[in-house]
Structure 1
Amino acid sequence: MESYSDLIAERRAEIVERIDAALARAGRADEQVTLVAVSKTVGVDEVVAALGAGYRVFGENRPQELVRKLEGLAQMGDVSAYRFDMIGNLQTNKINTVLGRVALIHSIGSAHLADAVSSRAERRIAEGSLAAPAHVLLEVNVSGEASKSGFAPDEVRACMPHLMELSGIHIDGLMTMAPRGDKDAARRTFSGLRELRDELRERWGLELPELSCGMSEDFEIALEEGSTIVRLGRVVFNPSFALQ
């Protein structure tokens, strides 16, 4: 019987093959994409198995679980071999827990949260406990679903002058989530995020290299529409989950 480690290694090879094919279809075969293994529903042992399979970037949505994973992994070896991102809604009272522990915060969905992260980062930098501004993505509710958080596209356009002035954050790009179960809607959402990024680039002279979009059910569509970061959970950690 195959071990769990063997199964997720085989699944990773399949995922990478699908990623490469989607990039080729989009004429992006030479581009690099970051694959975030969303580890929020699994334990340290599963993350260790994923490291063995070749994953190097992990995503958490709860600060306390992020700390637990990092503490568990620190007992097992070289902490420079992997990184964690914050992918879930971030409460202002948890910002200090996340700063300095994650490489990228995907979910800055309001000017209020951007202000709070920036001010705390500035304070930590001044104290010497944080080396540089926090790298962040702006979460945009491109689909307009009431159940989803994030800036409306027009809010991003209006807020950019203010956000660009915040010295405690560095805006790396944009993030969105698509409606589930509707591939046409997903494609419209992802292309809408890309078009918004291109507009902001042209208007404000920003690089915004990262587009974080695409999950287990729709990552190939996201890649065809320009995603540079895909966030995969069930398809990574549950080998019985069927690739779409």
Structure 2
Amino acid sequence: MNPEAGTLAERLAAVRASIADACRRAGRDPADVALLPVSKTFGADVVREALGLGLHRFGENKAQEVQAKAAALAGEPVEWVLIGHLQTNKAKMVAAHASEVQSLDRPELAVALDKALQARGRAIDVLVQVKTSPEETKSGIAPDRLLPFLDELKAFSSLRPRGLMTLAEASDDEERVRACFRMLYRLRDRARDAGHAVDRLSMGMSGDYALAIAEGSTEVRIGSAIFGARTYKA
């Protein structure tokens, strides 16, 4: 899909149709796969346009960007979802504005988030990010640490674990990509068998969401295919 083609409304419709088609090919109900639009690097005016199209949850990579957009869109029905790697010293920003964090990946971050949320009298949903790729650039808790970490999260009343998130290996080999998603699916089942209510699987982005859907994803994170090509600052 060309991220420069069509209007925002047309690109959104095309992405939704493509997700539905991937679900049908996988023998799944399209209603079982949610779309998280990723608005990172796009301004508040673009998010406002997306709100007019019925979107209300937006994925962001950086706490500073969430803070800035939340200020610009104060009063709008926006839910911010932090999907990028989060430093503990940014926990207060996230606690002030985010409705969900999908990149919880270590105990010290859980401590910082819980402290900041408790101070505000808030509780939010969290997904635990698991490292399923061999790439050093990918973040996430080690698979063999997942169950102990979920046990540790029971001590934090402001954090509600709802599922797992991962980034697949960047590879042209579809089997290597699918293996990452398949691992998360199996880890989710293992965690549920151990008594953890982690039903959601956030996996799949613009380049691999069809494979993620085939492997059981319940939410795909799509950015440029909806909002257009990104321009990154130097």
Normalised by the length of structure 2, the TM-score is 0.88
Q: 1:239 and 1:13 mapped to 2: Cα distance?
A: 17
For 1:157 and 1:56, the matched residues in 2 are separated by: 32
Name the residue aligned to 2:119: 123
3-state SS of paired residue (2:169): coil
Runs (4+) off by over 6 Å:
none
Residue 79 of structure 1 pairs with residue 76 of structure 2: yes
SS in 1 for 2:196: coil
Please list every run of 5 or more consecutive structure 2 residues that lacks an aligned counterpart in the other structure: none
The answer for the alignment partner of 1:171 in structure 2 is 161
Deviations 1:33-69 (A, max 9, x none): 3211111111112222222334322111112211221
Alpha-carbon separation, structure 2, partners of 1:144 and 1:52 = 40
Report deviation, 1:161: 2.0
Contact between 1:39 and 1:58, CA under 8 Å: does it hold in 2?
A: yes
Q: Does 1:47 align with 2:37?
A: no
CA 1:30–1:181: 2 relative to 1, 3 Å: closer
Identity of aligned residues (%): 38
Whole-angstrom distance in 1 between the partners of 2:55 and 2:229: 15
- Superposed, 1:41-120 pairs within 5 Å as 41-74=41-74, 79-80=76-77, 82-120=78-116
Cross-structure match for 2:135: 145
SS in 2 for 1:55: coil
| Alignment RMSD (CA, Å) | 2.1
Deviation at 1:192, TM superposition (A): 0.7
> Does residue 199 of structure 1 match 2:195?
no
Distance 1:15 1:103, change over 3 A: same
Aligned to 2:9: 9
Distance 2:150 2:29 in 1: 32
Is the Cα–Cα contact under 8 Å of residues 118 and 134 in structure 1 kept in the other structure? no
Distance 1:26 1:6 in 2: 28
Look up the SS of the partner of 1:150 in the other structure: coil
